[in-house]
Amino acid sequence: MTAEERFERIEHVTAGLAEERRKDREEFHAVWRDTQRQLNELTLHVAAVNDALSARIADLAAQAALRDRETDRRFRETDARTYRLVTAIGQLIARIPPKE
């Protein structure tokens, strides 16, 4: 094999390596773009789930507040009824004449 043939072979191998490197670089870029796309989709999905959960939590908090107000109202009514009942019993006892 002459020196010229060796140079041609080296150039051929070098060209093949350069082409292989170019293809790898394109593949890596495609994978990177796909990964970025997936990350963007995931970010949007997480944001949507967060918004839905925030809305649900706000709804549950509003329902709990409504239940708390209703419970407070019922306790006040029960307290008032108990007070009236105890007062009526006290008045009834006061009207009973003492035994001799």
Residues whose CB is less than 8 angstroms from the CB of residue 63 and which lie 6 or more positions away in sequence, other chains included: none
pTM check: above 0.75:
no
pLDDT digit string, tens, across residues 47-76: 999 999 999 999 999 999 999 999 999 999
Please state the separation of Cα 16 from the chain's center in Å: 51
Question: Quick check: 91 pLDDT over 90?
Answer: yes
Least confident of 6-10, 21-25, 52-56, 67-71: 6-10
List C-alpha distances in Å: 100 to 83, 90, 97. Answer: 31, 21, 9
Total length of the chain: 100
